[in-house]
Amino acid sequence: MKVACCTVKHSESFCWRKIMNLNSFIFDTSIYVEPEFKYIGNMHGNEVLGRELLIYLAQFLCEEYRAGNERITHLIHDTRIHILPSMNPDGYEVAARQGPEFNGYLVGRGNAKEVDLNRNFPDLNALMYYYERHNGQNHHLPLPDNWELQVEPETLAVIKWMQNYNFVLSANLHGGAVVANYPFDNSREPRIRGKTSNSATPDDKIFKKLAKTYSYGHSWMHKGWNCGDYFDEGITNGASWYSLSKGMQDFNYLHTNCFEITLELSCDKFPPATALASEWLANREALVSYMEQVHHGIKGMVYDENNNPISNAVISVAGINHDITSGTDGDYFRLLLPGTYTVTASALGYQPFTKTVTVGPAEAVQLDFYLKVQPKGNVKAYPNKKGSTTSKSPPTNLGPR
């Protein structure tokens, strides 16, 4: 496997990267605290519109940056933008051989082994739902034993990518419907044929806001009636639509700091080339507006008393049962709606520190933390979501172990 990458600071900011045959563009300008954002397309090989739109988007960002577009310049200078046009190039090749006129609904959906990549991530929902009932961990859930041997090469590459970057916001582009789908995809309730139930995350309000940002930025998604289905305001909770396990968007939320939604962008999974121009115009504003959402909430650094950054510090927001952590350089980003919040930073070996902050509708508020070393003989373990230092272990039959 070869990895080739170039980075140009504060210029065209264009990078071509190959990761396990996954072609990925990165717009990179990292001098100060800035969030990581990603778009992923073509996870299902026969759902091709997202793949084409992301290539259009990469070209658009470069051209508008060179032209001096203030909005795009600001976005590129303040954001690390990762674009992965095709997560499943092998499936795409199978679908492309049939073309748009003869493509079947499932032909090329899976990878070269015909595995559905959106049913291939480690199942952390069962573990999360167990912890909800037993006062357990609420973020960065551990992966099962030997998980690398249980996933496909494409899934493995993407998980490693997630682990190497402190992603804050993401969207996964699909086709076959027109709706913005947000977590959880996997239902808390037992599956009963013909019955679905809403399965909300602790960040349900912000996820709805993110989904509406895309649906109302899109030319017609927000109208609700599309492809014979109706989704109020063009959004839906995943489990409320239909329950799906081992999906990528739930995995992002439960294993990393990243908030991801799934965008279904066309009734036709493989639209003809003649439709691409109109589809690009329908999605362009939504694609840009959604990226801009990464700059809402709070952001900052976690330091010790000597101004050394603290990695893996836990950032907790009172009233929201989902924590995030600082990155390797001590930086953190926490998406929040406008309001007043009580925020606590804690780290192993340090005394926790709490601040109150008011978040407005504009740019993220900078909120830095300086933690004092815990007195010797009084070192405490990381608290979980309710202050307890221990939690019950889940039954061994939960999850894919």
Q: What is the residue-wise DSSP string for 260-302?
A: EEEEEEESSSS--GGGHHHHHHHHHHHHHHHHHGGGSSEEEEE
Give ∠ CA 265-204-166 in degrees, rounded to 5: 75
Residue 272 — φ and ψ, nearest 5°?
A: -70, 160
> Could you tell me the CA-to-CA distances from 5 to 9, 17, 26, 156 in Å, in that order?
13, 5, 9, 20
> Could you tell me the CA-to-CA distances from 195 to 109, 117, 398 in Å, in that order?
26, 25, 23
Query: Can you name the residues that pair with 179 across neighbouring β-strands?
Result: 264
How many angstroms separate the first and last alpha carbons of the chain? 28
The closest alpha carbon to 400, from 122, 116, 152, 115, belongs to 122
* Helices (H), ranges, 8-124: 49-66, 70-78, 89-102
Q: Residue length, the chain?
A: 401
3-state secondary structure of 45: coil
Asked if residue 63 lies in contact with residue 14, where contact means CB atoms within 8 angstroms, the answer is: no
**Alpha-carbon 394 to chain mean position:** 26
Tokens of 299: 């952001």
List the catalytic residues.
Answer: 264
Q: What CA–CA distance (Å, rounded) separates 16 from 6?
A: 7
The closest alpha carbon to 353, from 337, 339, 367, belongs to 367
Q: What is the residue-wise DSSP string for 357-372?
A: EEE-SSSPEE--EEEP
**All residues at 6 or more sequence positions from 220 whose CB lies less than 8 Å from its CB, including other chains:** 178, 226, 282
CA atoms within 13 A on the CB side of 82: 29
Asked if residue 43 lies in contact with residue 117, where contact means CB atoms within 8 angstroms, the answer is: yes
